[in-house]
Chains A and B, each alone.
Chain A
């Protein structure tokens, strides 16, 4: 299981992470980011990719 944190002070809701890890991140109907705080280990590569492409560098995978 991996734990995910998004710094919502930094997040600007660009949704780049949604494209990389759609099972973990989504934009809601108001275009705001929602995410699951934990994900299966099989999502690690996707979440890492999401972390990399976040323009605000707001996503952290908690060890």
Chain B
């Protein structure tokens, strides 16, 4: 049973077959669509009128031999009783279960809590709704200056919208890539006509039936037709409650992605994949963390597929016998206007971030060190040089 029918779920099913799993595979999804690639939603999907078919993952159904149950989210899990309950009331039994339910956007509530004109971006349906609302000259307020907020700012600005970004942080992306990198991103956005209102929050909405503006925490009023909330995400783990798992931030797993109960005992049948998995570091003495980057579902799915296939063949369990542990290299990229960011590792862990090559105002690479050790690299351009350094990162 794979709970979550997005990229992580699909890659888990593929991995299971690749490592020789011959049992039945069922994927359960909350959305009504087969797995598709989300990153284009904030970019080409909006800008170039792409369709769902353009972003759908190819599925080799003959090889995969998997059943998809769509538009029926998981609502309850009883690990001891091996039962998964869905919203429709259907119950499914399982030998192994993989939790790959991903994230949902965080939402705010305001005193004047209007709905019309408000958007988030996570799913295809979200993107289609936003695309229907966007037109040249539309005034857009984006709450949040993370990757989604900045990518949307660039895409919608290119489509001719007026863009105001409101964010609680003083420097965009500073928490992820550091102050220097973040200031440069802001400069490049401002050059394209994006307006920033930083160090501020949205206190209330203006309008009677639909959004006409927002009130900021310093009293400023910004008029707008569209408000996009891009202030981070919440892991979809509610359905896992009642099993004694640590769900304080995603679901806590051991070094092999088996979920753990509050006593620290690993399940031998339940695994977590993707954004919701909070897994330990290997080289750093830091608490377990979740990683919300696009390659983590892929890496974790591959790992879990192999774990399950080797579970019943003790001679073949690589992790337990050799001490091999899940240790992916997080990787992310972001395209905003002509800015093309590529990064590896976890730059946010660094306590120093020297420039390695290039010029901040042009193409450059920054390295991110924690107590001298390389924990991340990031840059704009200079791909070949950047890719050479990725093997030196220790997490």
Binding site for B on A (CB under 8 A): 12-16, 18-19, 27, 29, 31, 52-53, 55-57, 60
Q: Which residues of A contact B295 (CB under 8 A)?
A: 16, 53
A-B contact pairs, 19 of them (CB 8 A): A12-B333, A12-B335, A13-B383, A14-B342, A16-B295, A16-B331, A18-B387, A19-B390, A27-B383, A27-B384, A27-B387, A29-B384, A31-B381, A31-B382, A31-B383, A52-B298, A55-B39, A55-B294, A56-B40
The 5 closest A-B pairs by CB, nearest first: A31-B383, A27-B384, A15-B387, A15-B383, A57-B37
B157 within 8 A of A: no
Among A15, A52, A53, A56, contact of B384 (Cβ-Cβ < 8 Å) = A15
Q: Which residues of A contact B342 (CB under 8 A)?
A: 14
B139 within 8 A of A: no
B265 within 8 A of A: no
Q: Which residues of A contact B11 (CB under 8 A)?
A: 52
B340 within 8 A of A: yes
A-B contact count (CB 8 A): 36
Q: Which residues of A contact B381 (CB under 8 A)?
A: 31
B96 within 8 A of A: no
With both chains docked as a complex, state the minimum distance between the C-beta of A45 and any C-beta of chain B, in angstroms. 9
With both chains docked as a complex, state the minimum distance between the C-beta of B365 and any C-beta of chain A, in angstroms. 12
How many angstroms from the CA of A13 to the CA of B384 in the assembled complex? Answer: 10
**Contacts A16-B295, A31-B381, A53-B295 supplied; 14 other A-B pairs, CB < 8 Å:** A12-B340, A14-B383, A15-B384, A15-B387, A16-B331, A18-B387, A19-B390, A27-B383, A29-B384, A31-B384, A55-B39, A55-B294, A56-B40, A57-B37
Q: Please report which residues of chain B, range 328-376, place their CB below 8 angstroms from some CB of chain A when the two chains form the complex.
A: 331, 333, 335, 340, 342
Q: Are A19 and B298 neighbours in the complex by a CB distance under 8 Å? A: no
Q: Which residues of A contact B294 (CB under 8 A)?
A: 55
With both chains docked as a complex, state the minimum distance between the C-beta of A18 and any C-beta of chain B, in angstroms. 6
How many angstroms from the CA of A2 to the CA of B40 in the assembled complex? Answer: 28
How many angstroms from the CA of A57 to the CA of B58 in the assembled complex? Answer: 10
